[in-house]
Structure 1
Amino acid sequence: MVLEAAYTLSKSVLPPKFYVHAGVTGLALLVTYAFSQGRSTSRERDLHARTVLVAGAFTPLGLTIVTNLANRGAHVIALSDYPLSHPQPSLLVPLLRTTTNNEEIYAEHADLSSPESIRAFCTKFLTGEDQRLDAIVFAHEYPTLGSLFGTSKYAEEKREQASLATFLLITLLLPAVLVAPVERDIRIINVVNPFYAAAAPTFTKSVSALFSPETAKDATIAKTKDSLFVKEGYRALRTVVVTRHLQRVLNALPKQADEKKDSNPSDTVPAIARMAPSNIIATSVCPGITRSDTMTPLLSADRDSGSNFGVMLYIIMYPLLFLFTKSTNAAVQSVLHVLFLPTPFKKLLAQMNAAADPGLSAAQASEKKASQDDLSVPEEVLKPGALYRECSVVTIRLPSLAAPGPPEGERKEKVSDESKSKGKKPESAAEKESDLKKEVLELEDDDEYGGEVLGRMVWEWYEKELKAWEAKEKSKADQKKAEEENVMESPNHPQVVVTPPTN
């Protein structure tokens, strides 16, 4: 009776002649959903005894990254913008330990909007007993800042602060990774938002304009008139370019193995260190467009600064968002792919170890080769300094720039003035240039992501803005301290008078 009623109801809702149409539509929706979720990584890696620092750990994507790392046994340090007594770290960390069955999850306070707080955390970490770092994941720059229905006046300031926080953390934590053993595999991963393509056509021109005295003011004004997508894309490309330049700097640094004079000649690690690029790999990752970190802020439906209209619009559009945008579990696949891929250093080490025993018999050598083939040294290796999306390398064509320099007349005049002040014979331009090359690292110019000149310009922008940011924060702190002192010294401020007891 029940089945008959159900069959009759189904026929009234969807007549049998539309069953084929419904099946094709359902299949099309299923294929569309699977395509929009993107690729999943085919790699896997045991992360026990590996220490991973995650900035932006309490964003939706950051929590998913921490969960995946903890499930694989990693020692995770989650940076929190809130004090450790705040409900986010105090409640979520024990919950993550329980659900992942991993007690090696810890939260540390570092307010990424305050350079003083960042320096305090780095000082605490670098002076601690355990300074090991196997990977640093910067996920705090991925969430979108701003809405389609009116951008906050503080959004641009927050974008720059997030980028400067990444740069400051990298420069402060580099000593901990540079002194690590040369055979250790270390990765620096910057997670960027998906709107980098919107700024690609004008990025190189905008950066060069910022370094030109004639157009710097106009470039700053034009930057404030850009759309939200261009501003977000500008921030993403800026991070991608500086990450590639960081890899150039790491590759140019002297290898630790070259300084070991008494090293064993049969040791393969120093030999690989001279052949391969740095064992520290810096890469950028774009997880794609997600519902939680991308669309929710865009529609002004986030919990902190959202509006009722944005929440209602998000609910109405949710079926489309569910179909065409990613979940955080799908978005994290590209980040995991970059963490799991072998590095060029590890691949060279495996290849050299395979041919390291000349005394083996032919049968033993073939047996060892077969066992190593079973271990399957992968053909795909992590590309240093690249941008990954959907578990593959993304090529962004940014025009290269010519190396900037003063006009020839000014250069000769400057050299002549310096030599006169020292009472020496003026140096030629070639001699002066050769002296500079001795003091400065020679970086490779591969023309990737704008080349070495564009990377150096962006790096210098970070250094200049970081100094301005720290000076601004210091002046604010001094002003606040002065105001507090003025309040205490004010005659209207109530004072407590203690009178001695009378006999």
Structure 2
Amino acid sequence: MPLNILETAIIKGTDHIPYFHQIKVATPIVVTAGLIKYWSRGGSNTWERKLHGKVYIVTGATSQGMGTSALLEMALLGAQLIVLTRTVDEWTTDWCNDLREKTGNDLIYIEKCDLSDLHQVRKFATGWLNNSPPRRLDGVIIMSGEMEPWGIPTISPPVRRSSVDGLELQMATNFAGIFHLLDLLQPSFKAQPPDRSVRILVTTCWLQSLGDVKEEDALWQSQKFNSSLKFFASSKLQLSLTILELQRRIRTEMQKTKHDGVERTGRNVSVALVQPGTMRSLSLRRVISNGSVVILLIFYCLLLYPLLFLFTKSGRRGAQSVLYALMTPELEEVNLKDDEVKYISDCALVQLPRKEFKDHELQKKLYDNTKRDIYELEKKMAIKRNQKKKD
């Protein structure tokens, strides 16, 4: 067939080739679209290692997007997975059973832990630590996130939703809850043997570049709510900054201890920020649709989807950077040349953005104030729970 077309073009001219004009017009468009899609899909994880015997705590795995894709790959590689979910109901139980059947991995468990509820986070962390000898833990993979509709100021201004502790929901889920979980789990990280590579991976978003830092009001309890985007971006930025301080604290404490008489470096516990890119996620759909089903069907599904398909990633492609961070030897102690948190985007190490990422004093102050404010808020909520029990 191609030879016949070529023969016709040479002997009779291109005018005798059926639909040649349409093909001539369409070819540049198709090639351009293909190149854009190839560029937007991002990098691919080229590392693969068996995860048999390794234990990971995972959040955001029931999203049916990036989190589920990453979890599926980890399960196929044999990892034992403890999946934290807001609720444990019939749907999550069936989802877990289906995942076990699909991967042939029975070591997948679901645990109730709503990250927007500080009391639930403490209950889970306390239960995890209340074990002797200390449980094995090879890493914590944070892929959860809450993004509220930004709102259309003149039509439907953003509505502030609050957690059970009274915090703005995005700040509670994306920052306070995750910070609390990782801070409480520090003894577990430090208890792992020095030959075990422990990885703490926290996904972030490029929108953090639009955020602000309120180190004196770390949980934004006194901040006026006038922009969902500002609270989302700031929650991501503040989490990233405290993660940098978390790694310094873990390594400083571990360097004070010895294992079999040998001083530890603490570098076997590595922390990495992962920027998976812009994906066609539940959060993106919610923002574009402004929480409206009608707008979702008309604007997102019919009008915007072709462009979004070209310029954004699927959840499976977004998971590639998470899997890269989990498996790359660049985060192993023998290959680390410094103690800085690594920032991974499109399956490559890149530079941290914004000047705040170099301000150690700011990060320390934000960490201390966040821990203080969470402690005060927990005490306040504990008093309320006790009063309800008495009533």
Q: Aligned partners of 1:87 and 1:381: how far apart in 2?
A: 47
Which is bigger in relative contact order (C-alpha 8 A, separation at least 6)?
Answer: 2
Residue of structure 2 equivalent to 1:136: 140
Using the alignment, how far apart are the partners of 1:73 and 1:334 within structure 2?
19
Q: Would the aligned equivalents of 1:182 and 1:257 in 2 still touch at CA under 8 Å?
A: no
Instruction: Describe how 1:419-434 pairs up with structure 2 within 5 A.
Output: none
Query: For residues 343-376 of structure 1, what are the alpha-carbon distances to aligned partners after superposition, in whole Å with 9 as ceiling and x for unaligned?
Result: 555436xxxxxxxxxxxxxxxxxxxxxxxxxxxx
Equivalents in 2 of 1:68, 1:139: separation in Å?
A: 14
Q: Which amino acid aligns with 1:464?
A: R
Distance 1:315 1:472 in 2: 45
Query: Could you say which residue in structure 1 is the equivalent of 2:9?
Result: none
Residues 1:58 and 2:62 are matched in the alignment: yes
1:454: how far off? 1.1
Partner of 1:309: 295
Tell me which residue corresponds to 2:178.
166
1:122 and 2:122 matched: no
Query: Residue 229 of structure 1 corresponds to which residue in structure 2?
Result: 229
Alignment partner of 1:323: what SS? Answer: helix
Alignment correspondent of 1:298: 287
Q: Which residue of 2 aligns with 1:323?
A: 310
Distance 2:199 2:124 in 1: 20
| Other structure's SS at 1:195 match | helix
2:324 pairs with 1:337: yes
Paired residue for 2:6?
Answer: none
Within a 5 Å distance, the mapping from 1:3-14 to structure 2 comes to none
Shift, 1:40, TM fit: 1.0
What's the CA shift string for 1:124-167, capped at 9, x where partnerless?
222347711101011113x4233344422116711221111111
Q: How does 1:66-145 map to 2 (within 5 A)?
A: 66-83=71-88, 86-128=89-131, 131-141=135-145, 143-145=146-148
Question: What letter matches 2:269 in structure 1?
Answer: I
Rate the CA distance shift 1:382–1:325 in 2: closer, same or farther, 3 A: farther
Asked if residue 465 in structure 1 is aligned to residue 380 in structure 2, the reply is no
User: Paired residue for 1:37, among 41, 56, 63?
Assistant: 41
Aligned mate of 2:196, from 184, 191, 211:
184
Q: What's 1:395 paired with? A: 351
Task: Give distance in 1, aligned partners of 2:196 and 2:245.
Answer: 21
Report the CA distance between 1:472 and its aligned residue. Answer: 4.0
User: 1:220-240: CA deviations, max 9, x gaps?
Assistant: 54x634x44333221111111
| Offset, 1:209 | 6.7
Offset of residue 292 of structure 1: 1.7
In 1: Cα distance, 2:127 partner to 2:294 partner = 42
TM-score by length of 1: 0.66
Deviation of 1:210 after TM superposition, in Å, equals 4.8
For the Cα contact (< 8 Å) 1:281–1:385, is it kept in 2? yes
TM-score of the aligned structures, taking structure 2 as reference length: 0.83
Displacement of 1:258 = 3.6
Q: CA 1:37/1:228 → structure 2, altered by over 3 Å: closer, same or farther? A: farther
Gaps of 5+ in 2: 1-14
Gap change, CA 1:306 and 1:71, over 3 Å in 2: farther
Letter in 1 for 2:143: A
Counterpart-to-counterpart distance in 2, 1:344 and 1:154? 38
- CA RMSD in angstroms comes to 2.9
In 1, Cα distance between equivalents of 2:188 and 2:116? 23
Structure 1 residue 208 displacement after superposition: 5.6
State how far apart, in whole Å, the 2-side matches of 1:116 and 1:463 are: 14
The residue type equivalent to 1:339 in the other structure is L
Unaligned runs of 5+ in 1: 1-10, 262-269, 349-379, 401-448, 486-503
Aligned residues: 363
Q: Is the 8 A contact 2:216 2:366 kept in 1?
A: no
C-alpha contact 1:78 1:105 (8 A) present in aligned 2: yes
Tell me how far 1:285 sits from its aligned partner: 1.0
In structure 2, give the amino acid aligned to 1:451. D
Question: How far is 1:18 from its partner?
Answer: 2.5
Distance 1:31 1:340 in 2: 28
Q: 2: distance between equivalents of 1:89 and 1:232?
A: 26
* Cα deviation 1:64-85 (Å, max 9, x = unaligned): 22111101111111111103xx
Counterpart of 1:253 in structure 2: which amino acid?
Answer: E
Q: Which residue of 2 aligns with 1:411?
A: none
SS of the aligned residue for 2:135 comes to coil
Residue 150 of structure 2 corresponds to which residue in structure 1? Answer: 147
Conserved 8 A contact 1:343-1:381: no
Contact 2:113 2:124 in 1 (8 A): yes
Structure-2 change in CA distance of 1:256 and 1:48 (3 Å): farther
| Equivalent residue letter for 1:69 | M
Whether the 8 Å CA contact 1:122–1:173 is kept in 2: the answer is: yes
Greater C-alpha radius of gyration:
1
What is the aligned-residue identity percentage?
23
Cα 1:341/1:389, change in 2 over 3 Å: same
Aligned-pair distance for 1:396?
3.7
Q: Matched residues in 1 for 2:188 and 2:353: separation?
A: 34
In 1, Cα distance between the equivalents of 2:208 and 2:234? Answer: 6
Instruction: State the shift of 1:300 in Å.
Output: 3.2
In structure 1, C-alpha distance between the alignment counterparts of 2:63 and 2:52, rounded to whole Å: 24
Paired AA for residue 26 in structure 1: V
Q: Is the 8 A contact 2:55 2:138 kept in 1?
A: yes
Equivalence map 1:342-361=2 (5 Å)? 342-343=329-330, 345-347=332-334
Query: Are the structure 2 counterparts of residues 453 and 252 from structure 1 closer, same or farther at C-alpha, using a change threshold of 3 Å?
Result: same
Q: Which secondary structure does the structure 2 equivalent of 1:45 belong to?
A: coil
Partner Cα separation in structure 2 for residue 293 and residue 125 of structure 1: 30
